Structure 1
């Protein structure tokens, strides 16, 4: 099932993906049964029904081709940073590009949503602790990138820099999350293609790795990195980050 969290008629509502005018997932069927096209909704990140603190862990350089693209050596242990909740916005929302920036790029990422409390989880049991998946577009500003040790405060922790959605997809409905095609278009032009099979550290590894030293709670997010193919995005650009079976996340760049 593909779940959505939206604002409609002035209040937050839950719904599920629904066909509209012959197009799959083009609308949301709200809990009260009404079917509303996507463009009539104000989309929220498709996680908890009400805002609450959560841990957001994000992987850097988790695809070897992207590490090469950035002229970094692929890490031998996960390169991880923590994000603030204010970075998250929903489908069809605006991401701000600061004035004077030379290179700001998208990152199409599979986001893991933790389903239940996880402590010291074994790799073989890791999928039992995943509640579902969504699409993240974790924008980065290359101008601010320094090195592995000081890479990501301004690069990754800005308000509106991480669109999420449109759907939360139940884990049981994703047969193999480590074999999903990723693609990004900018203004309709294909600019990035890849597959989750090319991750350096896959989903089971990450659940085991993090839960060794910290408790993962329901609703926590793990953003798993992006393949190569990133390009600079300017105000007015419409960016669509899509993952097979999960959804197509639409975002527009606006000037700060």
Structure 2
């Protein structure tokens, strides 16, 4: 199923995207929100699937989501607990930045309040000269995970997948001392969505294409097959250091093609730039940048 949340920021309502890719079905009569509590409740998900199959879900007469005249699409997940991010998790991205291949996953965090909708404005921070793009596969946890023993267990604890844009400010991240976090947590720095695709619709998360364009020019063109640590291993690994709860998110890293890895002058983002990104089967995002 493709689950999403539509409406004004802070007042989104839960919805289901029909297989035709254009019709929205209202889920507010069945569930209060798309969140960790829903993902952790198999009976609730079964009720949605059954209602969708029977055709009884009412149509949201609001136009094509994300299209001209359509409703705003918000983040597809409400009440996010924590966002665990994995750095340098693609062989080609590590190579382009001159970094050594990690022997263990590199972990940093984004605050849930960085999350915005997939077509919301992204703000270039005040004083920024090195705002960068990163298309990433987001893994949404569906079952509490602690001290998992295997890759298979890791995959079994995934509730769904979405597109994440891990916007980064490289000067803040690398040149200002301390940890990476202050270059990752500026407001609007994590567009998420448009949909949360339930795990049953993604049989192999290591076979997904990722692409990103800036002002119409293709910058990133990769595949999750090039991840250093796959999805199941990441969930297993992270569960050794912290408990993952339903509604937590893991951003699993980005392939080559970021501005940081390009020759000088590096084409960092500025107000007015347009970024578009997609992952096969998970939809597409588009953001226009503006000054904070």
Superposed pair shares fold, TM > 0.5: yes
Does 29-38 or 218-227 show the bigger shift? 29-38
8 Å contact kept, 1:86–1:158:
no
TM-score, normalised relative to structure 2: 0.79
What are the residue-to-residue correspondences of 1:177-196 with 2, within 5 Å?
A: 177-196=205-224
Equivalent position to 1:25, from 21, 25, 30: 21
Match of 2:141 in 1: 114
Match of 1:78 in 2: 105
Shift of 1:213: 2.7
Q: 1:9 to 1:217 in 2, by over 3 A?
A: closer
Q: 1:233 to 1:9 in 2, by over 3 A?
A: closer
- Mapped to 2, the partners of 1:82 and 1:227 lie a distance apart of 19
For residues 156-194 of structure 1, what are the alpha-carbon distances to aligned partners after superposition, in whole Å with 9 as ceiling and x for unaligned? 011111100000000000121111110001222211100
What are the residue-to-residue correspondences of 1:44-193 with 2, within 5 Å?
A: 44-48=74-78, 51=79, 54-122=81-149, 123-146=151-174, 150-193=178-221
Aligned residues: 248
Which structure 2 segments of 5+ residues have no match? 28-57, 260-267
- Mapped to 2, the partners of 1:160 and 1:25 lie a distance apart of 26
- Mapped to 1, the partners of 2:203 and 2:270 lie a distance apart of 36
- Mapped to 2, the partners of 1:252 and 1:27 lie a distance apart of 25
Shift of 1:154: 2.0
Match of 1:248 in 2: 284
8 Å contact kept, 2:133–2:165:
yes
8 Å contact kept, 1:144–1:151:
no
- Mapped to 1, the partners of 2:172 and 2:216 lie a distance apart of 28
Equivalent position to 1:226, from 231, 234, 254: 254
Question: Which of the two has higher C-alpha Rg?
Answer: 2
- Mapped to 1, the partners of 2:287 and 2:108 lie a distance apart of 23
TM-score, normalised relative to structure 1: 0.90
8 Å contact kept, 2:110–2:185:
yes
Shift of 1:222: 0.3
